[in-house]
Amino acid sequence: AQSVTQLDSQVPVFEEAPVELRCNYSSSVSVYLFWYVQYPNQGLQLLLKYLSGSTLVKGINGFEAEFNKSQTSFHLRKPSVHISDTAEYFCAVISYSSASKIIFGSGTRLSIRP
């Protein structure tokens, strides 16, 4: 069975500092990987996705993520955060063999301190 683990429920960071939000998954088949951002009282917005090819994926708002197949990880990074990055971030996985089943992580709340 597939699963997604976001290792940190909350990550406090000072403004302009770098940040890494961790995501690990388990699956016996190949997967598509996604990161979403949710601002308060809004739906989820796609940040970036990994389908195939280069393992380093760049997304919107200066975020990037690296797919590591051997460690089954897809960590999200940003070199310098801004107050406006305060939000909830969700990692998600879809397997090649069962695209109807989307597995979301439990989310990581990123709070930026001035």
**Sequence-separated (6 or more) residues with CB below 8 Å from residue 98:** none
**Residue 87 binds to other proteins (criterion: CB under 8 A):** no
Q: Does 54 bind other proteins (CB under 8 A)?
A: no
Q: Which residues of 65-91 are buried (b: 16+ CB within 10 A; e: fewer)?
A: bbbeeeebbbbbebeebeeebbbbbbb
Q: Does 59 bind other proteins (CB under 8 A)?
A: no
Spatial separation of the C-alpha atoms in residues 24 and 81, rounded to whole Å: 22
Q: Does 30 bind other proteins (CB under 8 A)?
A: no
Q: Does 67 bind other proteins (CB under 8 A)?
A: no
For residue 94, the minimal CB distance to other proteins (Å) is: 5
Q: Does residue 107 bind other proteins (CB under 8 A)?
A: yes
Of 28, 54, 70, 100, the one binding other proteins (CB under 8 A) is: 100
